[in-house]
Chain A
Amino acid sequence: MGQLSGPTDPTADAHWEHNHPRKGFFTDTSICIGCKACEVACKEWNHNPQDGNLELLGSSYDNTGSLGASTWRHVAFIEQGQERIAEARESGRALVSLGMPRIGPPAAPDLAEADTTPPDTADFRWLMSSDVCKHCTHAGCLDVCPTGALFRTEFGTVVVQDDVCNGCGTCVAGCPFGVIERRSNGTIKVATSREDQHDNHPAVPNVGIAQKCTLCYDRLVDDQTPACAKACPTTSIKFGDHDDMVETARERVANLHAQGMTEARLYGANENDGVGGIGSVFLLLDEPEVYGLPPDPRVPTADLPRMYQRAGLAVAGMAAAAALAFLGGRA
């Protein structure tokens, strides 16, 4: 087993003997138009079943709700009034002033000089954001998988092998983002060709098996862009080498800050966070919780060394105590 926490190259850590750059997304929510083309393209490419119950969810234009076994892209819609916008702007500004943790340059811009005139419609906004599996540097799902069904690919991504997974569900508890899930049989298979369209009740694939975004592993091996990024009309979802994505994301945040949008902030670009940084970085316009993202994700296995260390100490201590007692008794 490789490193369990902190900055690392997950591909090298997984002992891939090549120099494939790590691949990932940069989802820039500031230019998302909420069209959900990513959701549809994902389901189409991956032949995922329908999992909506065909009723309004009661959450603005979001009728998907969350990521799950059959939904690997999810667009959130958040309607906000003036007060919340001001808070987001302030919390973003505070982040910059505190100095967000960064990997080298560019350094945090000095906002004293920036034009901080707020953008023009400041009394209301509608945030849209396409969420996806984070492909963590230290992936909780992968680290806890007892069967080896989850593996680190040569692109640094994390993928489930359907034919190896036994559906134990350990990974579900292991994911700090609530992304991976076992597919229930409450879903409906969607015809993948026009001939199949009117067939009744075709079998749903992979029921009971843990499922999540593969970052279109089957497309990456053919040097193709993942379906969601390919379908995105405004390039809100960008795909490329992880380092380039982080760099682009930092530039974009700096650009927005210069325009007075201090609410803009990165999510998942800090390799010192609880999952060692993520493969799918985001630009958010409010705090992560607003989008349903954990503010301080932490992979459960990050604490393993310390836990083992403590356990080891405890064992040693108990052994020592026992020995002492035995020896003392003899005395």
Chain B
Amino acid sequence: MANADCIIIQGSNMAECHPVGYQWVAEAKARGAKVIHIDPRFTRTSAVSDKHIPIRAGSDVVLLGALINYVITNDLWFKEYVGAYTNAATLVHDDYRDAEDLGGLFSGFDPEKGAYDSSSWSYAEEEGGTIGEPSGPEHGADAGARAAGDLFGSGGPALEHAEVQRDDTLQDPRTVFQIVKRHYARYTPEMVENMCGIKAADFEYLARAITENSGRERTTCFAYAVGWTQHSLGAQFIRAAAILQLLLGNVGRPGSGIMALRGHASIQGSTDIPTLFNLLPGYLPMPSAGRHDTLQEYLDANASKQQKGFWADADAYTISLLKAWWGDAATAENNWAFDYLPRLTGAHGTYETVMSMLRDEVEGYFLLGQNPAVGSAHGRMQRLGMSHLKWLVVRDLNMIESATWWKDGPEIESGELRTEDIETEVFFLPAATHVEKAGSFTQTQRLLQWRHQAVAPPGECQSELQFFYELGQRIRAKLAGSDDDRDRPLLDLTWDYPTDEHGDPDPEAVLAEINGRHLDGPDAGKPLSTYTEMRADGSTSGGCWIYTGVYADGVNHAANRKPGREQGPAAPEWGWAWPANRRILYNRASADPSGKPWSERKKYIWWDEEQRRWVGDDVPDFPVDLAPGSKPDPALGGPAALSGDDPFIMQADGKGWLFAPKGLVDGPLPTHYEAQESPVANGLYPQQQSPARLVFPRKDNLSAPSAGTRGADVYPFVFTTYRLTEHHTAGGMSRWLPYLSELQPEMFCEVSPELAAERGLEPYGWATIISPRSAIEAKVLVTDRMRPLAVGGHTVHQIGLPYHWGVGNNAVVSGDAANDLLGVTLDPNVQIQESKVASCDIRPGRRPRGEELLALVAEYQARAGVTIETGNRAITDPEAEGIAPGPSGDASAGDGPQT
């Protein structure tokens, strides 16, 4: 980021929530970069930016689409880059119909399942067919249930093969370029003014800043965080930025890209080596029953040997993983113990799990460094869910609200729960802090940095590593001697780590296992140097293919600490970045198609004709000796099929995708839909909300009516939730610390002077905020940093709510939890909740206590006339959208997920 000429921070409050990473923005600014912050609120990030542009929460696709339109209409796109490196010239199949033609729907919508069949979005094949997925199509409803979008953390979706049809003149209406151009033609500055509340002059300023700082000589970088992801179409917000950046040539170059700012020290690490229900390490999918019943089916579905690039070798990554986990017990005869892996039978994300708890389908629950009673959407559902458990284990630094809800939670106060009736047995186990254990953090830039232990944990506190190691040992001891097949996966696990005098396993031994080693031949036992050494024949092991190389030559490269000033611009000897210690992904794109740097100023990786190899400041992200002009035999697959101008080596066709023929379940192009709850009608299409969003029509999960429907004025204001620098998420690491608590002691809401005047809110007095789920109280901060926006002819007021506080008696500071106001509606690609925009009302004074609180919430619900059907129709206007009217698409009663 320090190399960027312009930085757009949107969907993130970077200076407040990522203050350490913000040093690079500060450095870029000191070197003359322009920094623009686009956010509903004027925050500490806005304060140190060149310009703040207020935006209506949830309208980002309109703005980004208008920027795409601006770039195309004014002919400002980077032609050589786009033509060679993106799929702009690729032809899409004839059957494809755009949202422009179907009132906001794409072709293939299945109203019965509320999901898309994406086959009509495919690339065209020579003989009139389509390039499908290697193991046949998967319905959007099934892909959504396994949050298949999460798989693309390290590579793109699979294709049968990469023999695409192209029109390099970009004139064919079926080319991706023409489709994109047409799709965004109505995303205009006027639309931005009407939908986002951004003035035309501000849009012009933004568009000029971005385009004047893009091209051969200059680069623009985007940074986002959960302000983009936590929406019912969050993945599409990011896709929209990706299209813009590809059109401007801002991917794979210094100071370019889209920075996904991760919220905690190792959240990147916990998706790489996942704590998610649907992933195995390195973004391999968790097998699904029916789709991945055998190893062969699984491997075929993950990647075709006929597609381009390194994802074609996913079989080697999978089998090396199985060898790392089950060692000698994983053999060719038992398909490398593939059947030891559990199979998904549906959606098992965190929210589905909580709903399963309410149905008494879940007996026990481990909470490790997570405080869902405060930090997850719909806190009441979370707490009531936990009250149905038989046992609950909370491992944390402090006695967090998720461990105490049974005695002092909001439902005890309201009378919904009585402590003596709750049968859940709660175990609190104290955890070691990050300074009391060693290990690695993987941060935003995919950089692994080793953390050494400073002091031993006090008392009974243990590291996670030690806890799980001991738990595994105890379970295995209990199962020892069992001849039940179902115990084999546990008994055959490699579970043999050296421990220190306190019984804590050596984390370097775990890192070595993750890195992988040669199992056969002269190098047997030696660590692998790079993932390309992995084989599908069982001769290598490795716990996470993208991390291979971190322990090359038996050295812990994550612990490298050579200061930046003592090395080159990419600082390769500070920590270790996956994959292969590469600091900028797809960096082949930093050179032109002939291999020369686009400009001296933005020189990074280039082709050295004398050495016949790619050289430069970083590890080239390309086969190092593949010459720029190479055109391999089209019959080849995998890395050998890459052309000299295919920089996107993890994409099945080697190109950056402007249009996504596969991989997304809610549309191949980002399209503006309103949030689940919105006081504004969609000005672009008859379709109000994302048709493929995951909704949960339940009595305990009611939604506010959207604009134009009865009762919308009962919850007239938009609220958005966020963090403050002084606290850590749900407060487990900050509300127990006096030094942090005294800096932000009380829950507050931020409102504009106009809204305060309209509702009679007193500065620093109390206010009650009511949603269809709950009501909370907060102190009032009246500030010009919140601005009412003129949108579609009326004023939209936005209310800011930090979500750090929770109700309990153990912390230094406590307060009502903002997340109690939220409902559960999910993005179908990745199953993330929509928590950055929802509807509410606000009024002065404290909230009622006890049963009166429930009565207040019910009174609002009745006044708005909300039912479980409110806001939960998949199709807004069947007639306008070419869908036969009928009961399908309407929500039906019951508490199962409905899409």
Contact = CB atoms under 8 A, between A and B. Distances in A.
A128 interface: yes
B47 A58 contact: no
B28 to A, nearest CB: 12
Given A33-B19, A35-B725, A233-B19, A194 B50 contact: no
Interface string B770-786: 00000000010101110
Given A31-B48, A79-B783, A126-B42, A54 B745 contact: yes
Contacts of A54: 741-742, 745-746, 812-813
A128 B44 contact: yes
Contacts of A44: 739
A140 B15 CA distance: 37
Contacts of A235: 23, 26
A234 B23 contact: yes
Nearest to A49: B738
Interface in A61-115: 61, 63-64, 79, 81
Q: Which of A53, A120, A190 has the most CB of B within 10 A?
A: A120
B764 A56 contact: yes
Contacts of B748: 56
Contact of A36 (B22, B29, B725): B725
Nearest to A236: B26
Given A195-B459, A234-B22, A50 B742 contact: yes
A63 B745 contact: yes
Contacts of A63: 742-745
Q: What class of interface size applies to chain B in its complex with A?
A: 35 or more
Contact of B743 (A52, A60, A124): A52
B726 interface: yes
B383 interface: no
Interface in A5-51: 31-37, 39-40, 43-44, 50-51
Contacts of A127: 47
Interface string A119-130: 111001111100
Contacts of A50: 738-739, 741-742
A121 B50 contact: yes
B443 interface: no
For chain A, the bracket of interface size reads 35 or more
A56 B779 contact: yes
A55 interface: yes
Interface string A158-188: 0000000000000000000000000000001
B740 interface: yes
A125 B43 CA distance: 10
B205 interface: yes
Contacts of B740: 40
B51 interface: yes
B477 interface: no
Contact of A37 (B19, B26, B52, B785): B19
B745 to A, nearest CB: 4
B205 A120 contact: yes
B743 A40 contact: yes
Contact of A33 (B42, B44, B461, B743): B44
B50 A233 contact: no
B785 A126 contact: yes
B49 interface: yes
Nearest to B457: A194
B251 to A, nearest CB: 26
B540 interface: no
Contacts of A234: 19, 22-23, 26, 48
Contacts of A32: 48
B738 A190 contact: yes
Interface string A186-200: 001010011101000
A137 B773 CA distance: 61
A109 to B, nearest CB: 18
Nearest to A188: B738
B738 A125 contact: no
A124 B764 contact: no
Contact of B784 (A52, A58, A79, A119): A79
B884 to A, nearest CB: 51
Interface in B5-45: 15-16, 19-20, 22-23, 26, 29-30, 42, 44-45
A47 to B, nearest CB: 11
Contacts of A52: 741-743, 745
A123 to B, nearest CB: 9
B20 A40 contact: no
Contacts of A39: 739, 743
B708 interface: no
Interface string B558-596: 000000000000000000000000000000000000000
Contacts of B415: none
Residue from B29, B42, B739 with most neighbouring chain A CB atoms (10 Å): B739
Nearest to A119: B50
Nearest to A37: B19
A52 B740 CA distance: 10
A33 B15 contact: yes
Closest 4 CB pairs of A and B: A52-B742, A120-B51, A50-B738, A126-B47
8 contacts: A50-B742, A52-B741, A52-B745, A54-B741, A60-B781, A119-B50, A127-B47, A195-B458
Given A33-B48, A60-B783, 6 more contacts: A61-B44, A64-B742, A79-B783, A120-B205, A233-B20, A234-B22
Interface of A: 31-37, 39-40, 43-44, 50-56, 58, 60-61, 63-64, 79, 81, 119-121, 124-128, 188, 190, 193-195, 197, 233-235
